[in-house]
């Protein structure tokens, strides 16, 4: 396997794309979100240009998409590394080619911690929510709704966060890490709900 990081499509990637299911949740999310503003924000803040051994660093957008996959499928860091190596749809969503190396669990851990230290999760959630509002999927103002309908919507959302994303307990220790977990869960929840509404 190639040690470099390649995002250009090769012959194997073309064959996989032809074989892959055209209708999937990850493909819906990829079509729904314009990743360029998110990539700009991440690139401006995440300044790592090469790994310790001199190889180029992984693109921050692909690492961020891996964090979203981790939330959607409730994976640990080693489980995420294994899943991205194992499943065909995960490298397609993150932008890795079949020939490129996949980040290991320590790279994922360090990237998540660096975003936590820089406080970027709130900005990322804002950018994603702004795009969902532009598609009229996520409505920020609920003034005209009935109270009972609003209460049902809020309680249903918290119930889903609790069941699917283990929102009733923290995975990490420390206020900054719990805040990071909250924002990642909110992004994952909003994107999953938006993709389901479009489907």
For 50, the 3-state DSSP assignment is: strand
pLDDT band at 64 (very low <50, low <70, confident <90, very high): very high
pLDDT band at 87 (very low <50, low <70, confident <90, very high): confident
pTM score of the predicted model: 0.70
Percent of the chain with pLDDT over 70: 65
pLDDT at 169 over 70: no
pLDDT of res. 147: 41
Show the DSSP H helices in 2-120 as ranges.
Answer: 11-19, 25-32, 36-45, 60-72, 77-86, 89-94, 105-118
Percent of the chain with pLDDT over 90: 13
pLDDT at 165 over 90: no
pLDDT at 68 over 50: yes
**Contact of 92 with 12, CB cutoff 8 Å:** no
Please state, rounded to an integer, the average pLDDT across all residues of the chain: 75
**Contact of 34 with 151, CB cutoff 8 Å:** no
pLDDT band at 151 (very low <50, low <70, confident <90, very high): very low
Looking at beta carbons, which pairs linking 100-104 to residues 24 or more positions away fall under 8 Å? 100/2, 100/4, 100/5, 100/6, 100/7, 101/1, 101/2, 101/3, 101/4, 101/5, 103/58, 103/62, 103/63, 103/66
pLDDT band at 188 (very low <50, low <70, confident <90, very high): confident
Q: How many CA atoms lie within 13 A of 147 on its CB side?
A: 0
From residue 156, alpha-carbon distances to 140, 150, 160, 168, 187 in Å are 17, 10, 6, 14, 16
Digit-coded pLDDT (tens) for 9-61: 565 555 555 555 566 788 888 888 999 999 999 998 877 766 666 677 889 99
- CA–CA gap between residue 84 and residue 94 (Å, rounded): 9
pLDDT band at 8 (very low <50, low <70, confident <90, very high): low
pLDDT band at 187 (very low <50, low <70, confident <90, very high): confident
Digit-coded pLDDT (tens) for 88-103: 788 888 888 777 788 8
- CA–CA gap between residue 138 and residue 127 (Å, rounded): 12
For 57, the 3-state DSSP assignment is: coil
């Amino acid at each position: 396997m190639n040690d470099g990081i390649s995002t250009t499509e090769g012959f194997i990637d073309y064959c996989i794309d032809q074989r892959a299911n055209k209708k999937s949740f990850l493909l819906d999310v990829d079509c729904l979100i314009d990743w360029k503003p998110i990539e700009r924000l991440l690139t401006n803040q995440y300044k790592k240009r090469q790994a310790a051994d001199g190889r180029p660093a992984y693109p921050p957008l692909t690492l961020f998409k891996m964090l979203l996959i981790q939330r959607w499928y409730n994976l640990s860091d080693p489980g995420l590394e294994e899943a991205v190596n194992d499943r065909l749809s995960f490298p397609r969503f993150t932008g890795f080619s079949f020939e490129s190396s996949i980040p290991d669990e320590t790279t994922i851990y360090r990237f998540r911690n660096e975003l936590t230290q820089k406080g970027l999760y709130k900005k990322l959630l804002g950018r994603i929510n702004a795009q969902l509002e532009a598609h009229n999927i996520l409505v920020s103002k609920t003034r005209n709704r009935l109270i009972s309908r609003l209460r049902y919507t809020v309680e249903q959302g918290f119930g889903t966060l609790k069941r699917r994303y283990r929102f009733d307990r923290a995975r990490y220790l420390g206020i900054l890490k719990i805040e990071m977990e909250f924002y990642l869960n909110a992004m994952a929840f909003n994107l999953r709900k938006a993709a389901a509404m479009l489907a």
